[in-house]
Structure 1
Amino acid sequence: MMTQSNEFWNEKMKHLFHLYDIDNDGSITPRDFEILASKLSTLVGQDDIKRREDYANARKTLCQEIMRADANQDGKVTLEEWLDFHQHLAKELQKPDTDPEILEQIAQRINTTFHMLDLNHDGYIAKDEWVKTCQFFGVDKTTAEKSFQQLSKDDKLEEDKAKHLFFEYLKSNDPNHISNCCLCFL
């Protein structure tokens, strides 16, 4: 029987899956990351060539990390593969002696996510960057602002704190954990 905390964790991982399934075809593929990178580059403007290149590189990195969940190597990640992969990952992250290779993979995913949210590359996620990105993913402005206030007492979220919260989001099954305010950007 599934506990309430496990049900919560499954629901948040399903939500995360659907954020990455940009074309809503029921699986995550490299094409989803191409669409995502193209759309995200509009947040900073199409005329910013350097930023478009950054998003293209981030897309490749994030795609490689996410596609690790493709257990049968058919070029797409199904919801079942996604949940199995992240359940194994969460269990591994809860161990005191987590495999260093897994920690490196997660660090790369988290670094990429942070840099995609830090729209002006100043080493912080400012409130306006957070809200703008949340709205891009369909979160209303009020909810985005509220979540940012819970995560940061200032007008910016420091890189170390953001990365720690993203890490905790992946492993925590506590419905009251502050990392749930991250709104599934991983």
Structure 2
Amino acid sequence: MNQSTTFWNEKMKHLFNLYDADHDGSITPADFEILADKLSALVGQDDGERREQYANARKTLCQEIMRADANQDGKVTLEEWIDFHQHLAKELQKPDTSPEILEQLSERMNTTFHMLDLNHDGYIAKDEWVKTCQFFGVDQTTAERSFQQLSKDDKLEEDKAKHLFFEYLKSDDPNHISNCCLCFL
């Protein structure tokens, strides 16, 4: 295995571990319930509309992530996760990527962006980025540095964020700017 493949596999393992909220070695719908409860506390889900938005986002993200469940047993193992994302990365590198795959990935990116845009203003502000990074165990200094690398302003625009998320999944270049996304997909 070459260095770039090793790097990409490590990235995908890290991403897998972020979604495996109960740390049982697989991703299941129960993991999304755990993450949603924690995220609700992070953004102060006092009002019903926000709770409903996050419930819908959680459901959508869960459906997209569970596509990796190759044997349809209700859980995604690390092996299934890596295989799924290897196929996805190869497909994304083609000039004629399947429209169905692009649609699925677009849904995943939209959901992820809207979960990071805590105040729903169409941007990810530095404080939103830092709060979310800290939620996933990233220290404040690292979160602030990554945000500075991703955005020249105090906010990250939706189109740029989605492009970076897209590149994160397909890039095996350890120096690619998308690696600052810290695995929010």
* TM-score bracket relative to the smaller structure: over 0.9
- Superposed CA offset, 1:48-100 (max 9, x none): 22111111101100000000000000000000000000000000000000000
Q: CA deviation at 1:105?
A: 0.2
- 3-state DSSP class of the match of 2:124? strand
Uncovered stretches (5+) of structure 1, i.e. residues with no partner: none
User: Partner residue of 2:131?
Assistant: 132
User: Partner residue of 2:118?
Assistant: 119
- Does residue 53 of the first structure (1) align with residue 52 of the second (2)? yes
Aligned letter for 1:88? Answer: H
User: Partner residue of 2:104?
Assistant: 105
Whole-angstrom distance in 2 between the partners of 1:75 and 1:177:
34
User: Partner residue of 1:152?
Assistant: 151
Cα RMSD after superposing both structures: 0.5
User: Partner residue of 2:94?
Assistant: 95
Q: CA deviation at 1:42?
A: 1.1
Aligned letter for 1:157? Answer: L
Q: CA deviation at 1:17?
A: 0.1
User: Partner residue of 2:21?
Assistant: 22
- Superposed CA offset, 1:13-45 (max 9, x none): 000000000000000000000111111011221
Q: CA deviation at 1:181?
A: 0.1
Whole-angstrom distance in 2 between the partners of 1:24 and 1:170:
22
Whole-angstrom distance in 2 between the partners of 1:165 and 1:154:
16
User: Partner residue of 1:143?
Assistant: 142
Q: CA deviation at 1:3?
A: 0.7
Is the Cα contact below 8 Å between 1:44 and 1:51 reproduced in 2? Answer: no
Whole-angstrom distance in 2 between the partners of 1:16 and 1:80:
13
Uncovered stretches (5+) of structure 2, i.e. residues with no partner: none
Whole-angstrom distance in 2 between the partners of 1:182 and 1:106:
16
User: Partner residue of 1:181?
Assistant: 180
Aligned letter for 2:4? Answer: S
Q: CA deviation at 1:46?
A: 3.0
Aligned letter for 1:32? Answer: D
User: Partner residue of 2:170?
Assistant: 171
TM-score (norm: length of structure 1): 0.99
User: Partner residue of 2:42?
Assistant: 43
Runs (4+) of structure 1 exceeding 4 A deviation are none
Whole-angstrom distance in 1 between the partners of 2:45 and 2:52:
11
Q: Which moved more, 1:73-82 or 1:48-57?
A: 48-57
User: Partner residue of 1:81?
Assistant: 80
Whole-angstrom distance in 2 between the partners of 1:159 and 1:43:
21
Whole-angstrom distance in 1 between the partners of 2:58 and 2:10:
25
Aligned letter for 1:115? Answer: H
Aligned letter for 1:148? Answer: F
Whole-angstrom distance in 2 between the partners of 1:180 and 1:50:
33
